[in-house]
Amino acid sequence: MAKKTIADVADLMGKKVLVRVDFNVPLDDAGNITNDRRIRAALPTLRHILDKGGSAIVMSHLGRPKGDPKKDAPFRMDRAAQRLGELLGKPVQKIDEVVGPHADGAAATLQQGHVLVLENLRFHPGEQKGDAAFAAQLGKLADIYVNDAFGTCHRQDASMLAVPESMKGKPRVVGFLVAKELDILDNLLGSPQKPFIGILGGAKVSDKIGFITSLLSRVDRLLIGGAMTYTFMKAQGQAIGSSRCEHDKLDVARELLSRAEGKIVLPLDHLVADKPEAGAQTQVVAGNIPDGWFGMDVGPKTIDLYREEIKKAGTAVWNGPMGKFEDEPFSKGTRAIAAALAEAKGVTIVGGGETAEAVEEFGLDSRMRHVSTGGGAFLEYLEGKSFAALAQIDDKL
């Protein structure tokens, strides 16, 4: 059933709105934000709340803090709050608490049209435990709950599940970002234009077994790249040199290849290196990879083949890089797939995570039909899994 959105809340004037966003942005070693895409994605919802006379209390997690104040310093929400203020063009208040007297006071005195950012949710142990008492403290801060964090919709953290549960009787809706993600995935992928191809990369077959299984029942072709290539190759009896391989998943790979009935397309050639890092000696090999060499990217024949498949596609869904694209010598495959999708006439959907970051880094994100903000959530939703977090949202009648 369709879920209510923030646009369905008739009166926001003077209301305090608790907005769960996904500001889990990538950081450099100094803690600086290297890509603010997830912050920008929340702007339509936040601007709507402020323009309609409400105030926004923003909460998010950031990184994986371990409870050490010194080591966790880069994971404070200060820089995200500062960047949000720059993008909104107005001051944003940030506090150093998630819940407690200071948070209660800051929320109570928050003025109409203003924004308050709470500290990193994961600084409180109740968040990942789904603690009901912690959730109730958050829930009492506001009149309305908004889930605009598609990237964490597959999780059962307190802010996603227990908080809206504690706010029964108050409006509980999704933001514009989550609404858009659900609309794209439900409508476009529910009846995709043919031919429908999937492009799948990344390191592990094990991370994407469910996704591969789901895609195989719907796609016409599934193009494989990334380090998972070598698990499939090994399962077929090919030599993979020193390339990364999940030896405990070879039987799974064989089963997937058998079930695919020819739909799975593996690389024709590979860019290999004598060590898995920039500055290594490289060569292109077709078929078996020599001993002592590491598969790092798809080769030129594979790029040409995949480019032609994308050109013919009515719908193309991509998740996972073709190689270690962070190092320039091994970025050609990922860059070529992004460019081919940008030029494609069919519907093009990029599935979150580092794939989305790569597309944006190449300056091609605006030329895709949709770039998802959710990596794991994107995969699980396409697998057909239901999200308990969305079950807490009010249904449209």
Residue in 4, 47, 204, 275 annotated catalytic:
204
- Hey, what amino acid is at 255? E
Spatial distance between the Cα atoms of 338 and 303, rounded to a whole number of angstroms: 11
Spatial distance between the Cα atoms of 395 and 397, rounded to a whole number of angstroms: 6
**Nearest Cα to Cα of residue 123 among 59, 74, 76, 71:** 76
**Nearest Cα to Cα of residue 59 among 84, 27, 86, 36:** 84
DSSP string, 182-218: HHIIIIIHHSPPSSEEEEE-SS-SGGGHHHHHHHHTT
The answer to whether 299 is a known catalytic residue is no
The answer to whether 221 is a known catalytic residue is no
Spatial distance between the Cα atoms of 269 and 19, rounded to a whole number of angstroms: 47
Structure tokens at 327: 């190092």
Spatial distance between the Cα atoms of 332 and 203, rounded to a whole number of angstroms: 17
Give Cα separations from 265 to 52, 225, 260, 395 (angstroms).
51, 9, 10, 41
| DSSP-assigned letter for residue 168 | T
The answer to whether 259 is a known catalytic residue is no
| DSSP-assigned letter for residue 344 | -
Q: Are 119 and 93 in contact (CB under 8 A)?
A: no
Residue in 38, 208, 263, 335 annotated catalytic:
38
Structure tokens at 349: 């959907």
Q: Vertex 318, ends 314 and 319: CA angle to 5°?
A: 160
The answer to whether 301 is a known catalytic residue is no
Residue in 63, 85, 314, 376 annotated catalytic:
376
Spatial distance between the Cα atoms of 334 and 350, rounded to a whole number of angstroms: 12
Residue in 54, 351, 353, 374 annotated catalytic:
353
- Hey, what amino acid is at 47? R
What residues are annotated to the active site?
38, 204, 353, 376
